[in-house]
Structures are given as C-alpha cells and as structure tokens.
C-alpha cells in the first residue's frame, strides 16, 4: 500500500460514519416479516460501524424500495422487473436471461452514486455472481458469507429452486474470486476449501445474539397463551415447518411417547410448506392434546416460549440452536452439520444419530425424568452460547473482516 492509500484508509477508519456497504441477499422482505425476523436486517450496520447499509433482494416477490430507518435501505426486484409483460409464473425465463443485466446495471449505478465501500453477498450463487460482477465493474472489493452446508440442504430438500448445475458452476466461479469468504461456522471451512478458496482468505464470522434478551423479566404466561395444561412440560421446536428440519421425526416421537406418558406438550412454533400436512397428520394420529401449532410468533413471544420450555428440539438448527442455548435450555439435536460445536453430549444436551427415533425418545424421556440434570445442561448451554455467540464479540469479528476488506482497496 502506498502512502496515499494509507492516508485514505486512516481517514476512512477515523470516520466510521462515512462507511457504506451493499448486501446482496437471497431473501424476501414479506417472508422475513411473516417469520418475525425482519428486524435482524437492522443489525447489519454493526452498531454504527456503517453509516449506510443497502440491502438488495434480487429475487423477491415484488419490486419495491423501503427505507427501514435512516441507515438501512431495502431494495427488492420482483418477478415483474423489468418486463411486466413477460411475467411468467416463477419468473424463470426472466431470472436466467432477461433479469441479470438489468439488476447489474442498477447495482453498478447504486455503488457509484452512493459511494459504497464494499459488497457482501450472502450466498455463492446468484448473489455471489452479482457481487463479483459489480466488483469487477467498479473496483469495490466483495466478500461472500456462507450460511449453510448447501450440499446437505440439497440432499434433504431433494432439489434447489433453479438449475443445480448452474448453482455448482456459480460456486466454482465466485468463491475463489472473493477477497474474503466468511462462513458462519467452523464446520463449513472444509466445504469452502474444496471449492478452491485459499485458507488465508477464510474468516469465520459466528452468528451473534443479544444474550440479555433472554434474561429479561417474563410478563406473559406461555401455558395460558397456548392452552397448555398446568403440570405438563413444554418441548419446543422453533423454525420452519419443512422436511429438512425433521419436523416429521418430532411428530413421530410425540406419537410414540404419548402412548407411555401424558406429562408433555410439543409446541411447533413457526410455519412453512409442511404446516397443513403436519396438522392433518396430528389429527389423524389423535395427537392434538400433545402437539400444538402456534404459527409464526413475534420475536419476544418466541423468547418467552423458549424460556418457559423444558427442552429444545433442534434436530436441525442454525440461529434457533443458538437462541435455545441462550435461553438456558438443554438441546436435543441430530449429529449433523455444525451441531457438535454447541451441543456437547451429556453436558449441554444430547447429540443423537440422524433419524434415530428411539434415541430421540430416550433423550426426551431422560430430560423429563431428570429435571435437575436438565437445568444443569441448560446452564451449561447458555455459558457456551455466551462464550461463542455474544453479539458484542461476534460484531467485533465482523468489523475486523470489514476493515480487512476495506484495506484491500488500496
């Protein structure tokens, strides 16, 4: 870096309020609002590190611009953009042939007009491609954050939305070209290395959680809220009601356990593609007194549910696993993906073989019958979550990555 570059960088670092970032995210604001997690967008300024944060959803359900506050702007491109007269169902033809040039033109214009300092794509597919293309055109550095084991997701879901071969080509193309690749878990590092990314460009950025949110005074009674009889213990699942979250295993466990005891209720908190099928299955198996569907709940109610539960069923979990630990709950999880980083068998919960319903039921029974041990596991789970995922420390990790990315400009 030459002297002028050092001076420019110092000026930027001394004026954090002048920094701006462009996020390119495969999401949809309407679905985020429905799930009650839209407020998480407002955390992307990292406590004032960025003055402006531009959030782009290239494949949303509608075209719109929303100023969430003076810092965060959301811009979405729906299936009608830019050719409303070609609005085929799903926007497939537009997505692959017509839409990318128009999205890129808009993004390049935005980067130049808003004096954006860096770009972050939150997947290595279309978002990663857009980030690379805009970076190539403007000289602004880009990074890619990795939020899942996409191969595992593919095996569970059966297919991705779109062309799997095209997605694989995107992985191979975009990941090695990013200045930094930032997985949210250590578990994902080998997956990234196999895509040709040098280890010196990989930075792990764990999810951060405001731990204090899980220790505020409780003002509502979850038992009364959802009609759970007194004396029963709540087993909570929080997340999408989708096959890849093993929700059918949870219902199967409840069915078998209901034949042996009546002191529990499973709360399925959330919605998703399997909602109606699961409700029909619960009715068919006469499990309505053992399995309660709450639908999507706002964040504060989700926290209440967690805190008044006896255990968390996180057979497949991401942020939900961290939040369950933050709420001092013992965790039952399948031994897949990153779970072993947070679930320590017999210490913070139980890590069991994927699909092993007998082990799942035995783990539930143990926690029901050993409340003192369950509470101790919950305490251990919170301590580990605080050590790994407190937002104050995880935010610092991300800011250091952004500083490194900014330095690469000069």
Q: Where residue 230 sits, what CATH number does that domain have? A: 3.40.50.2000
Q: Cβ distance 216 to 297 under 8 Å?
A: no
Are residue 72 and residue 199 in the same domain, yes or no? yes
Are residue 366 and residue 270 in the same domain, yes or no? yes
Q: Is 160 a residue whose pLDDT tops 50?
A: no
Calculated CA dihedral for residues 236, 227, 275, 25, nearest 10 degrees:
-60
**pLDDT-derived band of residue 131, with 50, 70 and 90 as boundaries?**
very high
Of 88-102, 145-159, 241-255, minimum mean pLDDT range: 88-102
Alpha-carbon gap, residue 116 to 109, rounded angstroms: 10
pTM of the model: 0.83
Are residue 222 and residue 280 in the same domain, yes or no? yes
Q: Supply the pLDDT for residue 2.
A: 43
Are residue 374 and residue 398 in the same domain, yes or no? no
Count, residues in the chain:
410
**pLDDT-derived band of residue 81, with 50, 70 and 90 as boundaries?**
low
Integer angstrom CA distances of residue 173 from 109, 147, 177: 24, 18, 7
Q: Supply the pLDDT for residue 14.
A: 42
Q: Cβ distance 342 to 322 under 8 Å?
A: yes
**pLDDT-derived band of residue 96, with 50, 70 and 90 as boundaries?**
low
Q: Cβ distance 270 to 241 under 8 Å?
A: yes
Alpha-carbon gap, residue 281 to 252, rounded angstroms: 10
Are residue 318 and residue 399 in the same domain, yes or no? no
Average pLDDT, the chain: 88
Are residue 272 and residue 185 in the same domain, yes or no? no
What average pLDDT score do residues 134-163 get? 79
Percentage of residues in the chain with pLDDT exceeding 90? 73
Of 110-114, 157-161, 390-394, minimum mean pLDDT range: 157-161
The boundaries of the domain holding residue 231 are 211-389
Are residue 139 and residue 229 in the same domain, yes or no? no
Are residue 74 and residue 144 in the same domain, yes or no? yes
Give the tens place of pLDDT for each residue, 229-279: 999 999 999 999 999 999 999 999 999 999 999 999 999 999 988 999 999
Q: Supply the pLDDT for residue 154.
A: 67
Are residue 232 and residue 321 in the same domain, yes or no? yes
What average pLDDT score do residues 178-202 get? 94
**pLDDT-derived band of residue 88, with 50, 70 and 90 as boundaries?**
very low
Are residue 304 and residue 165 in the same domain, yes or no? no
Alpha-carbon gap, residue 285 to 4, rounded angstroms: 72
- The structural domain count of the chain equals 2
Of 152-161, 167-176, 180-189, minimum mean pLDDT range: 152-161
The β-bridge partners of 234 are 265
Of 43-52, 163-172, 207-216, 266-275, minimum mean pLDDT range: 163-172
Alpha-carbon gap, residue 231 to 132, rounded angstroms: 56
Alpha-carbon gap, residue 122 to 182, rounded angstroms: 9
Q: Which residue has the tokens 């004032």?
A: 48
Q: Which residues contact 68 (CB under 8 A, 6 or more apart)?
A: 41, 42, 74
Q: Which residues contact 99 (CB under 8 A, 6 or more apart)?
A: 58, 77, 81, 82, 91
Q: Supply the pLDDT for residue 163.
A: 57
Give the tens place of pLDDT for each residue, 327-360: 999 999 999 989 999 999 999 999 999 999 999 9
Structure tokens at 409: 């400009």
Helix (H) or strand (E) holding 120: strand 118-121
Are residue 384 and residue 396 in the same domain, yes or no? no
Percentage of residues in the chain with pLDDT exceeding 70? 88
Alpha-carbon gap, residue 28 to 50, rounded angstroms: 23
Higher per-residue pLDDT: 156 or 162: 156
Higher per-residue pLDDT: 30 or 379: 379
Higher per-residue pLDDT: 96 or 136: 136
Alpha-carbon gap, residue 4 to 18, rounded angstroms: 18
Of 35-39, 43-47, 307-311, 382-386, minimum mean pLDDT range: 35-39
Of 299, 243, 300, 241, nearest to 266 by C-alpha is 241
- Sign (positive or negative) of CA dihedral 244, 245, 248, 249: positive
Are residue 188 and residue 81 in the same domain, yes or no? yes
Q: Is 91 a residue whose pLDDT tops 70?
A: no
């Amino acid at each position: 870096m030459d002297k002028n570059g050092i001076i420019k960088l110092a000026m930027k670092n001394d004026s954090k309020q002048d920094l701006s970032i462009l996020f390119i995210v495969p999401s949809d604001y309407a679905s985020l609002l429905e799930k009650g997690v839209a407020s998480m967008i407002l955390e992307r300024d990292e406590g004032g590190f960025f003055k402006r944060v531009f959030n782009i959803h290239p494949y949303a359900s509608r075209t719109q611009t929303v100023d969430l506050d003076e810092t965060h702007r959301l811009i979405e491109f729906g299936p009608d953009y830019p050719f409303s007269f070609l609005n085929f169902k799903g926007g497939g033809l537009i997505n692959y042939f017509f839409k990318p040039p128009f999205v890129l033109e808009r993004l390049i214009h935005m980067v130049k007009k808003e004096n954006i300092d860096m770009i972050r794509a939150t997947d290595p597919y279309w978002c990663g491609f857009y980030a690379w293309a805009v970076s190539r055109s403007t000289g602004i550095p880009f990074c890619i954050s990795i939020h899942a084991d996409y191969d595992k997701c593919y095996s569970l879901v059966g297919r991705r939305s779109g062309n799997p071969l095209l997605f694989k080509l995107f992985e191979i193309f975009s990941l090695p070209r990013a200045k930094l690749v930032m997985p949210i878990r250590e578990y994902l590092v080998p997956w990234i290395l196999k895509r040709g990314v040098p280890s010196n460009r990989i930075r792990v950025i764990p999810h951060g959680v405001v731990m204090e949110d899980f220790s505020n005074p409780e003002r509502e009674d979850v038992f009364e809220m959802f009609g759970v009889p007194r004396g029963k213990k709540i087993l909570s699942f929080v997340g999408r009601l989708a096959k890849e979250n093993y929700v059918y295993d949870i219902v199967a466990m409840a069915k078998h356990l209901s034949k042996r005891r009546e002191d529990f209720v499973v709360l399925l908190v959330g919605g998703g593609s399997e909602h109606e099928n699961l409700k029909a299955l619960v009715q068919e198996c006469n499990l309505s007194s053992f399995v309660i569907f709450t639908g999507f709940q706002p964040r504060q109610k989700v926290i209440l549910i967690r805190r008044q539960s006896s255990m968390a069923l996180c057979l497949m979990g991401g942020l939900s696993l961290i939040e369950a630990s933050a709420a001092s709950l013992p965790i039952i999880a399948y031994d897949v993906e990153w779970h072993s980083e947070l679930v320590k068998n017999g210490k913070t919960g139980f890590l069991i073989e994927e699909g092993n319903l007998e082990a799942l039921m035995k783990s539930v029974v143990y926690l029901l019958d050993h409340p003192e041990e369950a509470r101790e596991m919950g305490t251990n789970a919170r301590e580990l979550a605080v050590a790994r995922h407190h937002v104050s420390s995880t935010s610092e990790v991300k800011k250091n990555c952004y500083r490194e990315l900014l330095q690469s400009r000069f």
